[in-house]
Amino acid sequence: MRDRTRERAYVNPCNERIMLSIAHGGDQSDGRAVHNPEVCYPAQGFQILKNATGTGDIPVKRLIATQGRRIEPITYWTTVGDTVAVNGLKWKLQQLKYGLTGKIPDGLLFRISSIQADDAKAYQTQDTFARDLLRAMSPSGRERIIGNPGPAG
């Protein structure tokens, strides 16, 4: 499958704008992996002021990117094959796992952001958006976005 990115902006009933970007890469070998916002945003002139791991059912990264007066809280996660891999170590371990089986995994970056100075409110709105979007998807579509949770425990 070829690489592609889809971007959309949504406005909720409270007139809050949410930006969604989904990037898919068909080959997650080192040179072709999806680029995380920590790389892409600074390349566009943004500064990353906050970089933390969020809590919840899906392991996410939370960033605050700024450029001039623009403040953009960001929530994102990535998948390698069928596994969510937010940090670099887990990403590398998943690449290694697939490499040992001779498979080349695909990858996905799912990013939600908004332009808002109150990052706590922005993250709450982003979480609601993600839950609503995932709830509206088919089980197979949802699994594609959040990975395969595997056996409980």
Over residues 28-51, the pLDDT tens digits come to: 454 445 678 988 899 999 999 988
State pLDDT tens for residues 94-121.
666 666 666 666 778 889 999 998 999 9
- Predicted model pTM: 0.79
Give the architecture-level CATH label for domain 4-140.
Answer: 3-Layer(aba) Sandwich (3.40)
User: Where are the domains positioned within the chain?
Assistant: 4-140
Q: Per-residue b/e over 5-39, b at no fewer than 16 CB within 10 Å?
A: eeeeeeeeeeebebbbbbbbbeebeeeebbebbee
User: For 26-35, 80-89, 140-149, which range has the lowest pLDDT when averaged over its residues?
Assistant: 26-35
Quick one: average pLDDT of 14-29? 79
Give the contacts of 62 (CB within 8 A, at least 6 positions apart).
Answer: 50, 51, 52, 53, 54, 73, 74, 75, 119, 123
Q: What is the pLDDT of residue 145?
A: 83
